[in-house]
Structure 1
Amino acid sequence: MAREEQVSDRVLTVPNAISLARLALVPVFAVLIVQGQDVWALIVLAVSGASDWLDGLIARRFHQVSRLGQLLDPAADRLFILVTLIGLAWRDVVPLWLVVVLVSRDALLAALLPLLARHGYGPLPVHFAGKAGTFALLYAFPLLLLAERSGAVGTVASALGWAFAWWGIGLYWFAALLYFTQARSLLYPRQAHE
């Protein structure tokens, strides 16, 4: 049986510093993507993805899981996804419907937060499906950007990028369904068991 993870109120931790650095990279990435600096934008995305994995690993391995980190990490993921989507749509790399589908999911979940808070609950814990969807999307975007290249590299990147994007969309919305189910069971426990 897995040991329950301890969550601290610490602020000054290595994972939190990594998450803050990721947040600081969001505007850097936005400028690079809008200016067409694709190589640098890909590097920033790769660093962000690697640091996302690294901060989680350090937090778990060195018992530095914190409430702040549980807010910062998904916030950095959401901001990177939002900025990447807008930047890629601005450049006509991805269609507008993709932006609408992904942003509307996050908007619906954000609408749950005040309702949960009113009943004394904080943000819901991140589900594996949500992490997997985010992971797939964060792989899809650099590949879709790379798909702008001509030749075999662009063709393969396009196929892989859209495969990751479709998996990401599906997992993202499946996770939303899990979050709504969890919120319903917290807010209306009698109805959830009927």
Structure 2
Amino acid sequence: MSEAAAPEISDRIWTVPNILSFLRLVLVPVFLVLIITGEDLWALIVLVFSSLTDYLDGVIARRFQQITRLGQLLDPAADRLFIFATFIGLAFRDVVPWWLVAVIVGRDAVLLVLGIVLANFGYGPLPVHHLGKVATFCLFYALPILMIGQAFPAIAWFTAPIGWAFALWGAFLYWWAGVIYIVETRRVIAIPRLLGGSRSDTLDS
């Protein structure tokens, strides 16, 4: 039974996917300012543009063998920063409560601590759990839906409940995945590490 060849991961920096990820990172503070100042339509346009480039950089990286170590860091970083910027900007305007921001940021702070613990025991980051991917998916859907309601108040009665449903469900799954990562970290550090063993999968959701 033959195994599929793993994609080659390079150390290149200037690839099209990486440039798109850099662009998304640059747009994060622009996006935050637009939300805080009430420029909701422009903020929505920036968010949609960021979502499209997020999709494109993944497609290009896989199709043209441009998967890089830097890209594996930049892509999830840009995703998280856009999530944080949206929730912080909407909380600043009292559209969403600050406790929701604390829930989202707190979970990633826990993952940061887990990463440090694993590194101290000689392990890399844990493999991505599917619940983490589903949670991020829900939050990514919640953000543009909530922003549509702000940009077009006439339809907020329809978009707000849907956006809130995705946001709350995403936050719940975000922490559920976080608990799984905590349990897995405890299990891993309790097992004597095999010489030469490593865990190279990235924890990006």
Counterpart check, 1:86 vs 2:88: yes
Q: How many residues align?
A: 189
SS of match in other structure, 1:4: coil
Match of 1:124 in 2: 126
Structure 2 length normalisation: TM-score? 0.83
SS of match in other structure, 1:122: coil
1:2 to partner: Cα distance: 4.6
User: Residue 53 of structure 1 aligns to which amino acid in structure 2?
Assistant: Y
1:79 to partner: Cα distance: 0.9
Match of 1:112 in 2: 114
Structure 1 length normalisation: TM-score? 0.87
User: Residue 38 of structure 1 aligns to which amino acid in structure 2?
Assistant: D
1:86 to partner: Cα distance: 0.8
1:181 to partner: Cα distance: 3.7
Q: 1:121 to 1:15 in 2, by over 3 A?
A: farther
1:28 to partner: Cα distance: 0.6
Distance 1:65 1:21 in 2: 17
User: Residue 117 of structure 2 aligns to which amino acid in structure 1?
Assistant: L
SS of match in other structure, 1:6: coil
Match of 2:195 in 1: none
Identify which of structures 1 and 2 has the higher relative contact order when contacts are C-alpha pairs closer than 8 Å and 6+ apart: 2
Q: 1:140 to 1:109 in 2, by over 3 A?
A: same
Counterpart check, 1:48 vs 2:50: yes
Counterpart check, 1:167 vs 2:199: no
Distance 2:166 2:74 in 1: 24
- Tell me, yes or no, if the aligned pair for 1:8 and 1:64 is still in contact at 8 Å: yes
- Tell me, yes or no, if the aligned pair for 1:6 and 1:65 is still in contact at 8 Å: yes
Instruction: Identify unmatched segments of 5+ residues in structure 1.
Output: none
Distance 1:68 1:143 in 2: 30
- Tell me, yes or no, if the aligned pair for 1:93 and 1:145 is still in contact at 8 Å: no
Match of 2:186 in 1: 184
Match of 2:157 in 1: 155
Q: 1:167 to 1:44 in 2, by over 3 A?
A: same
Deviates more, 1:105-114 or 1:174-183: 174-183
Match of 1:139 in 2: 141
Seq. identity, %: 56
User: Residue 94 of structure 1 aligns to which amino acid in structure 2?
Assistant: V
- CA-based RMSD: 1.9
User: Residue 17 of structure 1 aligns to which amino acid in structure 2?
Assistant: I
